[in-house]
Structure 1
Amino acid sequence: MTPLPDCYCPYDGTRVRAGSLDWCCPSCRGPLDLDFAPTPAPCTSLVGRVNSLWRYAECLPLSAPSVSLGEGRTPLVELGDGISAKLDFLMPTLSFKDRGAVLLAELALRLRPRQVLADSSGNAGTAIAAYCARAALPCTVYVPAGTSAKKLEQIRAHGARLHIVDRDREATARAAREAADEEGVFYASHVFNPYFLHGTKTYVHELWEDLGGRLPDVIVVPVGNGTLLLGAWLAVAELHTAGLIGRRPALYAVQSAAVAPLAHAWTEGADDLAGRTPMAPTLAEGIAIPHPPRARQILRAVKESGGGFLTVTEDQIRDAQGDLASRGLYVESTGVACWAAVREGALGDRTAVVPLCGAGVKSGVADG
């Protein structure tokens, strides 16, 4: 079994030893990164490998998976005008969160905690519940009041215990983090645990392979807590450092105009969140995160890539959701945010890929 790498705090350098159940930096209580710098294999070496994200074994901090459900290798389809969509809603639990959840469950299986705990607005919770079921690990998922009934049904179906917090997403995260400090608890946080990012980065490794060893001019991702964007940042760095791509694509982050703290900070030229920003209800509930813990990393990744931020209105979300449905793609409202942002030419003539992150059956199509 491959030894586990240590974790470290990206802000103050504090190290956390491999195998620890510590879920955050002991000094600043911030999220952790992984002391892991892999070298990806060239495309020619991937022929004949397992048809899941585990085909990129050299780039993953865990090897020989026992809890895989065949996640990854989702289709890439053209939408027109140089834009393609990656159908990441075609995953075992119908969202891209499976990419990170399988890494967390595999890690928990090796650490053998008495309890796995997660917090989520829905998709991450269903993914963690499913992979914990696969691993026969006891799991509790904290969710805010108002979470989609279909997502709650899915979490329960996998045998996880639901803890519904009668407040918003932020309060739910605080409650989960308090419980995560108890002895013997593995906090399967898709925000704080860096293994999750090393799962989501396989999204870009797949793009690179499917496009014949290259990447589009622009990678567009929805951003709430930023787990897909930061995973993409990791993958692009790995491929570029290995000499497998000649240039780095620009990363464009999409937020709902109703809850856009990162886009606001970007506009202000700030390196971190610029105070409290106005917030309103949004159809894109999965990215409605007012205070993402990795804000500084997200802003830095976008800046270093030469990208930017885009925001979308509720009407744009509804229209884009209907447009995709008319093309045969039934995607939940959060999952259409990127298409809503770029479908009318926001990127000019540059090639781009957008993710369709969650299936429409999870929350339904918005009325409009």
Structure 2
Amino acid sequence: MPPDTPPLTGLPDRLCPRDGTRVPLADPAWCCPACAGPLDLDFHPRPAPPAGPAASLWRYADILPPAAPGISLGEGGSPLVPLTERVSAKLDFLMPTLSFKDRGAVLLVGLARRLGVREVLADSSGNAGTSVAAYCARAGLRCTVYVPESTSSKKTEQIAAHGARVVRVPGDREATARAARTAADEPGVFYASHVFHPYFTQGTKTYTHELWEQLGGRLPEALVVPVGNGTLLLGAHLAIEELYGAGLIPRRPALHAVQAEAVSPLARAWREGLDDLYEEDIPAAPSLAEGIAIPRPPRARQILAAVRATGGAFHTVPESAIGPAQADLARRGLYVEATGVACWAAVREGAVGDAEAVVPLCGAGLKTGTAAPAPAPRAEAPGT
């Protein structure tokens, strides 16, 4: 076990939302052993007035699950700035690795360090892998990140700069996930999945807790969130339920989920009134919004249920809207990657009408450049 690692006491269990199977946090299983689905955390804090530095995720330590201390890079506390009279943007691209994924990665890697693991594995379209790699570097853990072969070279350079091994997988994001999950079954590997592991969502919920505090103890009528695997939306929903359950908000804001039209399995299921995705695979077209180009999100049922529970909706944006939305934000002084502008593109097209809304700007434009297809890097076979 690494030095200064707290003892393994007081750790909550993971819990399967579909069949109730319990899995201890120290168990290396990364999914439910009964149904192979993702796990939630049996952790139900009651929000209290936050304490600590204002510009810090750790201001909310009392409602976060236990993790190893000492690996923070200064994450949290992103600014909220107006875009119009009714729409504001939360600048989560101003995180240590330039994306909101730092909120979840600091907790997930903190857990890995607390569990005493030495080898961490992640899969990602870029941002989550970069974040996990950075926090592994901070924690002194070896890290391997699987990415699709089409991932922006700027993102893979950032991952490698943190000392992680990058494995480029031929095929789409789903092929990458399959390759990583196979490798994750090897002994001694901690699968730092931002999709399957509930610690990541516990971190992303701080986005909404911060927003509640920044707005003077309230939330807007609508939270507009980009959705691929749904980690930010599910974190937002978790925070909403915590705040509503504690009587700190009088109503739940509507969650509006945004997908790229080219890869929109959840929006299709929503339109047809389904509780889950179609059984058959639907071929996904290439999208500039690579971070949300997820053809089969494992938490689809939870994402659809969260949007319904808040009276929200799903929206899709065409590829032709992404470039103009990115350029519009840049002219306002905000240079954001293509995935991160999807919500602003949807709002520009009337997704929430005149409702008071907040959009997250999730990743910096420097990660991908302007909205044009990135050249595909040379593929490296998994395991090399």
TM-score by length of 2: 0.93
Partners of 1:122 and 1:230 lie apart in 2 by 20
Q: Does 1:14 align with 2:21?
A: yes
Which aligned runs of 4 or more in structure 1 are off by greater than 4 angstroms?
A: none
Does residue 1:363 correspond to 2:351, yes or no?
no
Q: Deviations over 1:340-363 (max 9, x none)?
A: 000243312210000000000000
Q: Does 1:323 align with 2:358?
A: no
Alignment of 1:345-364 (within 5 A): 345-364=350-369
**Equivalent residues in 2 for 1:207-286 (5 A)?**
207-274=211-278, 275-277=280-282, 279-286=284-291
What code does the residue aligned with 1:57 have? A
1:53-132 map, 5 Å: 53-62=57-66, 65-132=69-136
Q: Distance in 1 between matches of 2:162 and 2:306?
A: 35
Q: Distance in 2 between matches of 1:168 and 1:280?
A: 10
- For 2:125, the aligned partner's letter is S
- The CA distance in 1 between the partners of 2:289 and 2:346, in whole Å, is 13
Match in the other structure for 1:314 = 319
CA distance in 2, matches of 1:233, 1:50: 22
Say if 1:81 and 1:349, in contact at 8 Å, map to a contact too.
no
Q: Structure 2 CA distance, aligned partners of 1:11 and 1:81?
A: 42
5+ residue gaps, structure 2, are 1-5, 374-384
Task: Please name the residue that 2:174 is paired with.
Answer: 170
Please give the per-residue CA displacement for 1:22-52, whole angstroms capped at 9, x wherever unaligned.
Answer: 111011111000000001113xx53x54631
CA distance in 2 between partners of 1:344 and 1:163 (Å):
38
Distance in 2 (alpha carbons) for counterparts of 1:29 and 1:326: 46
1:37-48 equivalences in 2 (<5 Å): 37-42=44-49, 45-46=50-51, 48=52
Secondary structure of 1:116's match?
Answer: strand
Aligned to 1:28: 35
Answer whether contact 2:68 2:110 (CA < 8 A) is retained: no
**Residues 112 and 190 of structure 2 are in contact (CA less than 8 Å); yes or no, is this contact kept in structure 1?**
yes
Amino acid at match of 2:239: A
Instruction: Provide the C-alpha distance between the structure 1 equivalents of 2:226 and 2:293, rounded to a whole number of angstroms.
Output: 10
Structure 1 residue 278: Cα displacement: 5.0
**Hey, what's the Cα distance between the residues in 2 that align with 1:64 and 1:166?**
35
The SS at the match of 1:80 is: coil
Residue identity over aligned pairs, in percent, reads 71
**Residue 64 of structure 1: how far off its partner (Å):** 6.4
Q: Aligned to 1:262, what secondary structure does the other structure show?
A: helix
Offset of 1:182 from its aligned partner?
Answer: 1.1
Shift of 1:279: 2.5
Paired residues of 1:324 and 1:331 also in contact (CA < 8 A): yes
Secondary structure of the equivalent of 1:103? Answer: helix
Give the corresponding residue for 2:379: none
Retained in 2: the 8 A contact 1:155–1:162?
yes
After superposition, the CA RMSD in angstroms is 1.4
Unaligned runs of 5+ in 1: none
| 8 A contact 1:260–1:277 mirrored in 2 | no
CA shift in 2, pair 1:63/1:280, >3 Å: closer
Amino acid at match of 1:13: G
Paired residue for 1:290?
295
Larger mean Cα displacement after TM superposition, 130-139 or 278-287? 278-287
Post-superposition CA distance 1:244-270 (Å, at most 9, x none): 111110000000010000000000000
SS state at 2:315 partner:
strand
CA distance in 2, matches of 1:100, 1:148: 21
